[in-house]
Amino acid sequence: MKLILLGCGAVNLSLLEILLARRTELSVRYGLQPKIAAVVDSRGAAMSPDGLDIKELIRVKKSKGSVAQTTPSGRADVNALDVISEVDADMVVEAIPTNLRTGEPSLSYVKRALEAGRNVVTANKGPLALTADLLPSLANKRGLFFRFSGAVGGGTPILDLAARCSLGDRIVGFQGVFNGTTNYILSELEAGLSFEAALRAAKERGYAEADPLIDIRGLDSASKLVILSNAVFGTRMKLKNVKVKGIRGVTKAKVANAAAKGRVIRLIGSGGIAPAVAPQEIPRESPLAVNSAMNAVTFELERSGSITISGKGAGGKETAGALLRDILTIHAKLGGFYPARDETAPRVATVV
């Protein structure tokens, strides 16, 4: 399978490291032999029709700052849209910084990829939260696969769980903690750190967006709420439909006051008729009272009651795991195998 990687920040760099470290296992267990036909970063690209040397790509990116410095395959003067159209590939894997104002350039990249007949995996929230079903519809029309499980919950398979739950029951509502950065800050406020020191630490740990105001103001949470709502309820909601309040007003005193009552403050997103994101006091024993950069979502099911999923919600290697999950899922749909073919195993339906 030939891949084009758009972006080579923490997420796609981690993806390259995983592909290298798990090369044999991915081939033997899943029949996946990925060839990296191109990697584009903010300063250029590296391209090779035979597949780039992944180890060398990682070395050059880490030591020189851009894949454009790779020899002989690096180029500084490339247009990402041309690479998407012209480089032969089965799939585009996009993980550039999220833009929640216009969705660009990710929106144009994904559209171009689908128009060029490429399947797409993305971890980008902007295009999905701003344009509702535009991209999934475009993919459907063209008979292509478009997956974005890394856009909600980092590596925690929140969208995948929702899809599985919806098969056997009906999700009637959900509530969750969707942002690792703000959850980290709120947890650290409880531990006595200042807001600024906690934000600095969240940035250093790679949780925050390139513009951390997106996290602090609740917009990142709202974008994930939109993506999950559209997936769960089949709506065409957009970011502007969510009532959003961030965590700027949460002080150490408010956190201490909540703690005295056995409660914690968490930035909660609520899906349903009145989608909203706001800091809320919740009991310390609530399944949503997760700590550090964790995310958690409780789904209310019509017949089965509530189901909660929690796990790390941010970070390069975590989100890279979600990309690989999506790549393997599409690979299976294109005729690869997943899970491993085992002639001795009972015949069961393929898990997707």
Among 109, 146, 174, 207, binds ligand HSE (CB under 6 A): 207
Contact string (CB under 6 A) for ligand HSE, positions 35-54, x = contact: --------------------
Question: From the CB of 112, what's the least distance to ligand HSE, in Å?
Answer: 23
* Identity of the residue, 217 or 331, whose beta carbon is nearer to ligand HSE in the bound complex: 217
- Output the smallest distance, CB 308 to ligand HSE, in A: 18
Q: How far apart are CA 348 and CA 292, in angstroms?
A: 38
The interaxial angle of helices 195-204 and 180-190, nearest 10 deg, is: 140
Residue 224 a catalytic site member: yes
Distances (CA, A) of 311 to 21, 93, 201, 296, 317: 23, 23, 19, 7, 13
Q: How far is the CB of 275 from ligand HSE (least distance, A)?
A: 18
Q: Which helix (H) or strand (E) element contains residue 279?
A: strand 276-283
Distance CA 35, CA 19 (A): 10
- Minimum distance from CB of 204 to ligand HSE (Å)? 13
CA distance 205 to 67: 23
Enter the tokens of residue 296. Answer: 């958690």
- Residue 122's SS3 state is strand
| Rounded least distance, CB 181 to ligand HSE, Å | 3
Q: Is 106 in the site for ligand HSE (CB under 6 A)?
A: no
Q: Is 321 in the site for ligand HSE (CB under 6 A)?
A: no
| Both tokens assigned to 324 | 């690989």
Residue 203 or residue 238: which is nearer to ligand HSE going by CB? 203
Select 7 or 313, whichever has its Cβ closest to ligand HSE.
313
Q: Are 204 and 221 in contact (CB under 8 A)?
A: no
| 318 is a contact residue toward ligand HSE (CB under 6 A) | no
The token pair that represents 70 in the structure block? 């790779």
Strand partners, 297: 176, 309
User: What is the per-residue binding string for ligand HSE in 219-238, x denoting contact by CB under 6 A?
Assistant: -x------------------
Q: Six-digit token pair at 161?
A: 């769980």
Residue 177's beta-bridge partner residues? 296
Taking CB under 6 A as the rule, does residue 209 contact ligand HSE?
yes
Which residue out of 224, 238, 240, 312 is catalytically annotated? 224
Q: Which residues in the 141-200 window bind ligand HSE by CB under 6 A?
A: 154, 179-181
3-state SS class at 88 = coil
For ligand HSE, the closer of residues 146 and 184 by Cβ is 184
Which residue from 150, 72, 167, 81 is spatially nearest to 320, judged by alpha carbons? 150
Q: Considering only residues 285-314, where is the footprint of ligand HSE by CB under 6 A?
A: 313-314
Which residue in 54, 208, 320, 328 binds ligand HSE (CB under 6 A)?
Answer: 208
Both tokens assigned to 131? 């344009």
Residues that bind ligand HSE (CB under 6 A): 154, 179-181, 207-209, 215, 220, 313-314
| Catalytic site positions | 224
